[in-house]
Structure 1
Amino acid sequence: MIKPLSDEVAGTLATRPIHPGVRIGHVHLKVADLDRSLAFYCGVLGFELMQRYGTQAAFVSAGGYHHHIGLNTWESQGGSPPPPGTTGLYHVAILYPTRAALADALYRLAEAGIPLQGASDHGVSEALYLSDPDGNGIELYVDRPEDQWPRNAEGELQMVTRHLNLQDLLAAREP
């Protein structure tokens, strides 16, 4: 069990930020049905299957990376999503490289009949919100260039949540 930090230690840690090169490399999700999840992540979103471990696990990625998303049924075969009001993953955010690529994701979702739960312009990014077949929250988003991020008079970041015009986003899709 991890013990709470003393005020002295907590104060020292707060002045020493994490290395700026640190990135979140991948997420591993518990799913109820591996084939159903692969149909969503590969068939709808377009991730590539990199490796499969029989009927219990698979690893998918974009661009040939070893894996961005791991899917497994080790503790969840046939299971159900956690009930509302419990702790756990809120959503996985998948960053798209361009607005046109995010527009293509929106098109794929519409073609597959996958409903959105939300769509927001956050000033720093544009985002689509939905759930995967197991009820895991998914955010598909594209960042704006940092010089376009909204800031107040003191230069502090001022993220917002505004309506995202989906027709305008779809218009950015490359044929």
Structure 2
Amino acid sequence: MTTTQPDRLAADTAMGPVTLEVADLDGLRDFYRDAVTLAVLSEDGPVVTLGRGTTPIVILRHRPELRHASPGSAGLFHTAILFPTQTELAVAVAAMGAARAPYVGSADHLVSQAFYFEDPEGNGIELYWDRDRTQWSWVHGRVEMDNRFLDAGAFLREHLDPQAQERPQDGEAAVGHVHLSVGDVASAKEFYVERLGFDTTSEWNGQALFVSAGGYHHHMAMNVWRSRGAGRRFPTLGLGQVDIVLPSSDDVGELGERMRHFGVRGADDGRSVTFEDPWANTIRVVAEGAAS
């Protein structure tokens, strides 16, 4: 599963931070700090970066002149934040509960355990923990995932540690995957698999596509559940940019050449390449260590 082909993204590909355009910068900063349990890594005028350790996870960009997207638009479905242990996940879930964050639900996906929320401006958030890869099941190149019942109360009773709750921002976390709302799955597959170079890991009845590099269950997903038929986005509150991190600048350069070969226009600043997908979702690809 981890051999990289010339037209595929490198096996060590990872997701970088998600940039959100927000109306209430102070309110969203406090929410991601206190409820999602991220630390403020930097504040620079209208931009606040939050994460864990030195890893940025969410970048908030103050854009009060923008309006909310209309229903049915393409954009962000959720940012999925991966925690290394069930205890750290439980601390974050409990903090979301204490903050009365809008709770969408929970599920055992076989490969992971996940809890779903929304931030105060309606941006979706998934908090999750992965089972060890040795416990994942692959059939004909597709990973087996499901939506099985996960009792949030039972999960917290089993895994919540009062001592860990005293220091909720300790420990590591990262963007594990990003899930987008798109207009149709076929165009998503053409862009993200055939051009960008992810591998398909799962497809659900023409309604959702899951893709990854290096045998992960998914680094990105796209669905039409709320956005079937959506066209290109106009500037709105919500998703500003998705970052993908490749192992080296050579990998970034090769991707830029491949996208130009396919006629995908992009910007290249010498450190990163930036493209728009068919719905004008901005995708920036940067080499590890060069992201900022």
Same-fold status (TM-score > 0.5): yes
The structure whose residues are more often strand, as a share, is: 2
Q: Quote the offset at 1:156 in angstroms.
A: 4.7
Instruction: Name the SS for the 2:14 alignment partner.
Output: coil
Are residue 72 (structure 1) and residue 61 (structure 2) matched? yes
Are residue 94 (structure 1) and residue 81 (structure 2) matched? yes
Of the three residues 4, 8, 25, the one matched with 1:17 is 8
Letter in 2 for 1:116: Y
Are residue 112 (structure 1) and residue 99 (structure 2) matched? yes
Identify the residue that residue 44 of structure 1 maps to in structure 2.
35
Give the 3 Å change call, closer, same or farther, for CA 77–43 of structure 1 in structure 2.
same
Q: For each residue in 1:15-51, what CA deviation from the matched residue of structure 2 results, as whole angstroms up to 9, or x when unmatched?
A: 7321011111111111111000011001212211111
Identify the residue that residue 7 of structure 1 maps to in structure 2.
none
Are residue 138 (structure 1) and residue 125 (structure 2) matched? yes
Are residue 164 (structure 1) and residue 154 (structure 2) matched? no
Separation in structure 1 between the aligned mates of residue 141 and residue 72 of structure 2, nearest angstrom: 36
Instruction: Name the SS for the 1:35 alignment partner.
Output: helix
> Structure 1 unaligned runs (5+)?
1-13
| TM-score normalised per structure 2 | 0.50
Identify the residue that residue 113 of structure 2 maps to in structure 1.
126
Identify the residue that residue 48 of structure 2 maps to in structure 1.
58
Separation in structure 2 between the aligned mates of residue 156 and residue 91 of structure 1, nearest angstrom: 22
| TM-score normalised per structure 1 | 0.82
Contact 2:42 2:49 in 1 (8 A): yes
Q: Quote the offset at 1:79 in angstroms.
A: 4.3
Contact 1:28 1:71 in 2 (8 A): yes
Instruction: Name the SS for the 1:18 alignment partner.
Output: coil
Letter in 1 for 2:74: T
Contact 1:33 1:78 in 2 (8 A): no
Q: Is 77-86 or 162-171 further displaced after alignment?
A: 77-86
Separation in structure 1 between the aligned mates of residue 115 and residue 80 of structure 2, nearest angstrom: 10
Contact 1:125 1:141 in 2 (8 A): yes
Q: Quote the offset at 1:85 in angstroms.
A: 0.5
Letter in 1 for 2:148: R
Contact 2:80 2:125 in 1 (8 A): yes
Identity of aligned residues (%): 34
When the two chains are superposed, the root-mean-square deviation of aligned CA atoms in Å is 1.9
Aligned length, in residue pairs: 157
Separation in structure 2 between the aligned mates of residue 130 and residue 81 of structure 1, nearest angstrom: 18
Letter in 2 for 1:69: V
Identify the residue that residue 245 of structure 2 maps to in structure 1.
none
Instruction: Name the SS for the 2:153 alignment partner.
Output: helix
Task: Select the structure with the greater relative contact order (CA < 8 A; seq sep ≥ 6).
Answer: 2
Letter in 2 for 1:26: P
Q: Quote the offset at 1:80 in angstroms.
A: 4.2
Letter in 2 for 1:103: A
Q: Quote the offset at 1:157 in angstroms.
A: 2.0
Separation in structure 2 between the aligned mates of residue 158 and residue 124 of structure 1, nearest angstrom: 8
Give the 3 Å change call, closer, same or farther, for CA 155–26 of structure 1 in structure 2.
closer
Of the three residues 72, 85, 106, the one matched with 2:72 is 85
Separation in structure 2 between the aligned mates of residue 150 and residue 136 of structure 1, nearest angstrom: 31
Letter in 1 for 2:132: P
Separation in structure 2 between the aligned mates of residue 19 and residue 151 of structure 1, nearest angstrom: 20
Q: For each residue in 1:39-84, what CA deviation from the matched residue of structure 2 results, as whole angstroms up to 9, or x when unmatched?
A: 1001212211111122x1111111233x2211011xx316443122
Give the 3 Å change call, closer, same or farther, for CA 157–113 of structure 1 in structure 2.
same
> Structure 2 unaligned runs (5+)?
163-292
